[in-house]
């Protein structure tokens, strides 16, 4: 049986190496690491040029560590069809025009038929109030809607 595809969005490597001490950030780091330990056995993990660009733009000394998490993942490429979907998300005001990374993540994961987007971006991506509009754009472009969730939601047991 083929494993479902899980698109790894930028916040996952960021939280994997996050060092903020407040309880919410510590919990996200713990859940991210716990999920990542076994994620490869349950999912085909993929990422994208958009994630690579966002991570490379970072100034933290942890950028190389974050990039190393993506080393073994298939990197999805941006195509004209992906760009057209990005424009649709922004035109319908479902994703902010700046940064446009969120629209790229949705468009890439949709175009490449990912089953999940794994993210801690609960403002624009893993946000129930955005769900209906995101699903509408997916269907309009001929894509199946994607489950957008946090690593915590994918933890076994």
Query: For residues 140 and 5, what is the distance between their CA atoms, to the nearest angstrom?
Result: 21
Task: Please tell me the pTM assigned to this model.
Answer: 0.92
Q: What is the pLDDT of residues 15-65, one digit of tens each?
A: 999 999 999 999 999 999 999 999 999 999 999 989 999 999 999 999 999
Q: At what angle do helices 101-111 and 128-140 cross, to 10 degrees?
A: 50
- Determine whether 21 is exposed, middle or buried from the number of CB atoms within 10 Å of its CB (0-12, 13-18, 19+): exposed
Q: Write down the H helix ranges in the chain.
A: 11-16, 23-42, 49-56, 63-70, 80-91, 101-111, 128-140, 151-154
Predicted confidence at residue 99, as pLDDT, reads 53
Positive or negative, the CA dihedral 85, 91, 92, 93 is positive
Q: At what angle do helices 80-91 and 128-140 cross, to 10 degrees?
A: 130
Spell out the domains of the chain, with CATH numbers in brackets.
5-152 (3.40.50.1010)
Residue 74 β-bridge partners:
46
Q: Give the DSSP H or E segment for 7.
A: strand 5-8
Percent of the chain scoring above 70 in pLDDT:
94
């Amino acid at each position: 049986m083929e494993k479902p595809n899980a698109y790894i969005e930028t916040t996952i490597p960021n939280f994997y190496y996050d060092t903020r001490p407040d309880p919410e950030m510590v919990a996200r780091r713990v859940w991210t690491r716990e999920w990542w330990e076994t994620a490869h056995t349950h999912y085909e993990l993929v990422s994208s040029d958009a994630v690579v660009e966002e991570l490379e733009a970072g100034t933290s000394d942890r950028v190389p560590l974050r990039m190393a998490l993506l080393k073994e993942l298939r990197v999805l490429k941006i195509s004209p069809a992906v760009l057209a979907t990005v424009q649709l998300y922004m035109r319908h005001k479902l994703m902010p025009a700046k940064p446009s990374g969120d629209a790229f993540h949705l468009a890439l994961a949709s175009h490449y038929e990912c089953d999940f987007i794994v993210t801690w971006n609960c403002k624009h991506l893993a946000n129930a109030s955005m769900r209906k509009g995101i699903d509408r754009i997916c269907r309009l472009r001929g894509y199946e809607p994607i489950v957008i969730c946090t690593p915590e939601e994918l933890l076994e047991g």
